[in-house]
Each structure stands twice: as structure tokens, then as C-alpha cells.
Structure 1
Amino acid sequence: MTQGTLGRVVMVIPTFNESANLEWIVGRLREAQPEVHLMVVDDNSPDGTGDIADRLAAADDHVQVVHRTEKAGLGAAYLHGFAVALEQGFDVIGEMDADGSHQPEQLHRLLDRLETADLVIGSRYVPGGSVVNWPFSRLALSRGGNLYVRLLLGIKVKDATAGFRVFRRATLEKIDLASVQSAGYVFQTDLAYRTVRAGLRVAEVPIEFIERERGESKMSGQVASESLKRITAWGLTERAEQVRRRLGRS
């Protein structure tokens, strides 16, 4: 158990219409990591997810709920949860999905590696990592997107779009969360990129990612389009800064 050296750990779990999954995934995490706290951030789910979260929190002092009044995107939910976790003094703040695609039984891999890193990502695309039940087209899109990120942003992270990760408190404090504007799934790439640019240590550990079995995926064409546009803009900015630095040295 690594929490003793890392301090207090909380996993932030954003939810929108996850009534079929929430109790199941919370139970698995509490069993796998009894010392880890959970924060459910619910975006006013009409299917009763927030009520389930409240019931779980009432029965377990390691579970808490943050209720939001609107569905404003994954990034907005995480930023809200991070702000609450920082205010509450947690030393390690993590992310994971509510749908079971991130296995709580593998969280120890991320926490163990955080002993010598500032951000640890549970990666599908490092040796030992894998994806279960994705069609080839979606796997190719994900791998291609991560390759695009590496080439355009000049970072070595293999799975910058992954959402199973843990941050040291100091990392989140250093990367200026107040200036993050990414609302959708590109939020994951944004924070990985900011961590690298801040000169902090990013590590990846292999995980087995399992496609959800219950409920509907929140990924859409609009989300993918937002990600592509933002990453392209960041990449062009990065290249322009590199040119200016080179010209300044000449």
C-alpha cells in the first residue's frame, strides 16, 4: 500500500447518466483501495445518478459528491472536482471513468509509480497495455490521434488522451488550472502537455482498457473535432515559439 508515503489520495469520477455503473464501480474501488477517497462529480444527471451517489456517500465517509447544475463537459467537471480536492487538502488527485473502462484493481500500478513521478498515466499504448472490445476503426482513430499529439506537440507521451491518471498536488498547483479552457476530452491532452512543458516528470504504466458494457459513450464527432482543432492550435503555437527561440539564439 503506497498511500502512507504519498499522503491522502482521492479519485475524481465525473458522471452523467451513469446510474447503471456507479454503485458497481464505487464498490470495486473501495474494495481494491480501501484507503483511497472518491469524489463523484455529477452533472445533474436526469437518470438519478446523483441520488445514487448521495446514498453511497451517506453510507461511506470515503465517498463524497459534488453536484453541478449543468452538463458543461468532462474538463469542466474535472476542474471543479480538482478545485474541491485541492481545497480539502488531498495530496494526490486522480481521474477515472465511472463506466468500468478503467479498472480499480489496476490503480495500484499508478500509485506505485507516482513515488518517482509528478503525473502517472494509465496507458493503453505502452508495452503491456491493451484495449478490449474496441472496433479496429476506433482503435486506429485513438492511436492516430495520439501519434498526431506526439508529432505536433513534441511530447513523448504515448497515451496523452487517456483518462486514468494520478497527479501530485504540487503538479496541479504548478500547471495553472485557472487558465485551462478545454471542456471536452481534449482536457486530458491539455493537462499532459502542460505538465511536460512545466518540466515535470510524466510516467506511463500499462493498463487494460475495457470498453463500457452498460450505458452510452459520451464520445461524439463534435468532441473529436474540438480535440483536433485545439491540438492543432497548440502545435502551431509551439512551433512558432521554437522558431522564435532559435532566432533569438542566432
Structure 2
Amino acid sequence: MSDITFFSVVVPVFNEEENLPVLYDEISRAAAVTGKEWEVVFVDDGSKDRSLDVIKELAAKSSHVRFVALRNNCGQSAAFSAGFEAARGDVIVTMDADLQNDPADIPSMLAEYARGFDMVIGWRANRKDTVAKKIASKIGNRIRNWLSEETVRDTGCSLKVMRSSMAKRIPMFTGMHRFLPTLMKCQGATVSEVRVNHRPRLHGTSKYGIWDRAKTTFFDLLAIRWMKKRYICYAIKEKN
């Protein structure tokens, strides 16, 4: 069994000003169900709208809200890295700021984690995306699993629960966020998948183009495949 004392919800943000107040309210309600101590760490990734102002307003109203503001737009992997470093919880929950991930899934994912896993990842069985995006994701997921020698149902779902000490040791590089389960397994992590809710985007626009992401991901996959074969993982039995 894995005890949970305090969990941190890490949320990368880029131009999501309309979604943030709703997201915080939903996270707050979900966190109350768990009965655990919690915080949400918003990482503003150089937003051009009022996202950072909204985050600061939320932080002024609630001691549960903390934030990191990046000087310029560095991408989701950099935002997650900064959020992991800032997180104080023994467990880290990751999710997107676009409201497509449902915070109501957090309690059940934490319960699954508490069964003894190091990581729990969401599986969007009923995705609320365009047909083109669903097809591209399905094809991309199969190729990603094939090249990375994985069996993950939904590698692109940002809703994940991770042991903080292991998440903070993940090697950081651009595109890292797409391979978190594989990078956790390199450390010997046990991983579980659970079905989660997925919702249509109500405000803002997607930050990723389908084909641009596919090209970039292909080269990242080659790096991941190499890393898996070269990764050094050891546990110290004793020392003096």
C-alpha cells in the first residue's frame, strides 16, 4: 500500500484565462473528497493573455494555490519540469488546463495509486475530440508503443498520478511529457491504467498541430528507445 499525505496538482498553462477559475473550483471540490492535504501548482508558460493575472488572483484568495511563471513560452515539457521542481507533495497529479481532463477523476486515481502503484495514468476511452484528432491519436499511439516497446492504452492523456520522488528524477528534455510512463518505468515504477472522463474544449484553442506534433514525436521516440536500453537504474543495499 502507498500512503498519501499531501498531493500536488501540477497544471501547465498557456493562454487559458477563461478556463482557470472553473478548473480551480473543480480541483478544489475533488480534493475535498480525498480528505488529504493538497495544493495546485499552476505553471504559466509565457501566456499572452491574462492567464498569469488570473492565477495570481486565485493565489491571493486561496492558500492552496501556488504558481511558477516562466519568462517565455518554453513548451509543456518545460512547464511540467518546473512544476515538478516546485511541487511539495509526496504525490504529483498532472493535468491540462483546458478543462478536457476532469478533476473529478482525481480521487479514484489516488485510490488506485494507494493500492501500491508508483504511477496511475488516465485512459480516455470516450474522447471528445474531432474525428481527425482521434484517428491521428490512435495511429500515433500504436506507433509510439511499437517504437518505445510499450503497451499503454493512451499515452497522450495528461491526467496522471506519480510518486513525487520518482517524477523529480525524470530526465528532462523537450517532448518528455509524452513519455512519462516509459521514463517512470526506467526507474522501476509500477504503473496502472484507469478509465477517465474526457470533455470537449469549451474555451480557447488547441496548442498543437496534428502533423507538426507527429514529426517531432517520431524523433523523440528514437531518443526514448535509445534511452531505455542505456538507462542506469540501481538501488543501494547499504553503505558506510
Q: TM-score, normalised by structure 1?
A: 0.83
Distance in 2 between residues matched to 1:54 and 1:240, nearest whole Å? 43
Distance in 1 between residues matched to 2:229 and 2:118, nearest whole Å? 27
User: What residue in structure 2 maps to residue 246 of structure 1?
Assistant: none
Aligned CA distance change for structure 1 residues 137 and 58 (closer, same or farther; 3 Å): same
- Look up the SS of the partner of 1:209 in the other structure: coil
Residues 162, 188 of structure 1: 8 Å contact kept: no
Counting only pairs closer than 5 Å after superposition, residues 111-190 of structure 1 correspond to structure 2 as 111-115=110-114, 116-124=116-124, 129-132=125-128, 134-173=129-168, 176-177=169-170, 179-182=171-174, 186-190=175-179
Distance in 1 between residues matched to 2:54 and 2:130, nearest whole Å? 32
Q: Does 1:208 find its partner at 2:197?
A: yes
Distance in 1 between residues matched to 2:54 and 2:117, nearest whole Å? 35
| Per-residue deviation, 1:6 | 0.6
Residues 101, 159 of structure 2: 8 Å contact kept: yes
Paired amino acid for 1:137 = A
| Per-residue deviation, 1:239 | 9.1
Taking only the aligned residue pairs, the percentage that are identical comes to 27
- Look up the SS of the partner of 2:10 in the other structure: strand
Aligned CA distance change for structure 1 residues 73 and 11 (closer, same or farther; 3 Å): same
Select between 217-226 and 39-48 the one with higher mean Cα deviation: 217-226
Aligned CA distance change for structure 1 residues 180 and 24 (closer, same or farther; 3 Å): same
Residues 11, 95 of structure 1: 8 Å contact kept: yes
Gaps of 5+ in 2: 231-240
User: What residue in structure 2 maps to residue 247 of structure 1?
Assistant: none
Gaps of 5+ in 1: 242-250
Distance in 2 between residues matched to 1:44 and 1:197, nearest whole Å? 31
Deviations 1:11-65 (A, max 9, x none): 0111111111001111111122134311111123221110110011111011111
Select between 219-228 and 157-166 the one with higher mean Cα deviation: 219-228
**For the aligned residues, what is the CA RMSD?**
2.1
Structure holding more helix per residue: 1
1:52 alignment partner, one of 41, 51, 54: 54
